[in-house]
Amino acid sequence: MAELRNTREFRFERHHFDLIARLLHQLAGIALAAHKVEMVYARLARRLRDLRLPDFDAYCDLLQSEAGADEIGFLVNALTTNLTSFYREAHHFDFLERTVLPGIRDRNAGQPKPRLRIWSAGCSSGPEPYTIAMVLASTMGAELRRWDARILATDIDTHMVEAARRGVYNADGASGIPPAIRSRYTQATTLNGEPAIAMTDELKRLITVKPLNLLERWPMSGPFDAIFCRNVLIYFDRPGRTQVIESFARMIGSGGYLFLGHSESLYGVSDSFRQAGPTIYQRV
């Protein structure tokens, strides 16, 4: 298939798609399936207009040039999907509250400054780490103040990292937050003239947000009590998935937990974990 529906505004051929897919795999470990052609064109055609480029030949030349380093970042941001919501896959947060946190408390019994570390890997615009923070704050209450408790939130998309740091969301998107929790841990505001909510400073103090490519060197040393990496591994090829899971296993303390997305599994990928619930795995 030499040419892909070139009745479009910009000529977009197979070699354009192949080069973009190869760069995305090299830089982010994301395997771009052939049926994503229309998505790639739609997202990047807007970029060609913004840059006033005549065609995808010019855009591909830019990506491969010295001047294209900054554009590579935009490419990764544009082609990574960021679907997220508060309390998504609610059984994970029930398990966090009822099983993970009591276990961490037991292990830290008698410690003058108990330690708690949770990582949201692939945090998107932030609903996941803020949901984790709400669970910690609402479950542990005033006790949390004496803990050395931190939530690390990372994402490859720098635009999403900035959104997570701001912690401001359309009110419609916050419907999954239980009313009592929403009243306690968010404040009414506006976003682009529309009703919105802002996360409280109490939650923001628990969270550190950083950009991170999961296939590059990780600057943190762990150990983590729990890692949430949901609906991220589905974009990696098998070697990429194996590399990330093995790295997670080294980062999670004995008895700690890994939470995956609803369509992800460790079956045939790793023997470092045992299944503790639907898409919940415990380090062995």
| Residue 61 a catalytic site member | no
Q: Which of 88, 201, 85 is nearest to 137 (CA)?
A: 201
Please give the Cα distance from 81 to 124 (Å, whole number): 9
Catalytic member of 43, 115, 150, 182: 43
Residue with token string 């990696």: 236
CA distance 270 to 249: 9
Q: How far apart are CA 234 and CA 138, in angstroms?
A: 32
Is residue 155 part of the annotated active site? The answer reads yes
Q: Within a 10 A sphere around the Cβ of 271, how many other Cβ atoms?
A: 9
Cβ within 8 Å of residue 155, ≥6 positions away: 82, 122, 123, 124, 161, 164, 211, 212
The sign of the torsion formed by the CA atoms of 253, 84, 245, 206 equals negative
CA distance 239 to 128: 26
| Residue 208: its H or E element | strand 207-211
Set 98, 115, 148, 155: catalytic member: 155
Catalytic residues: 43, 155
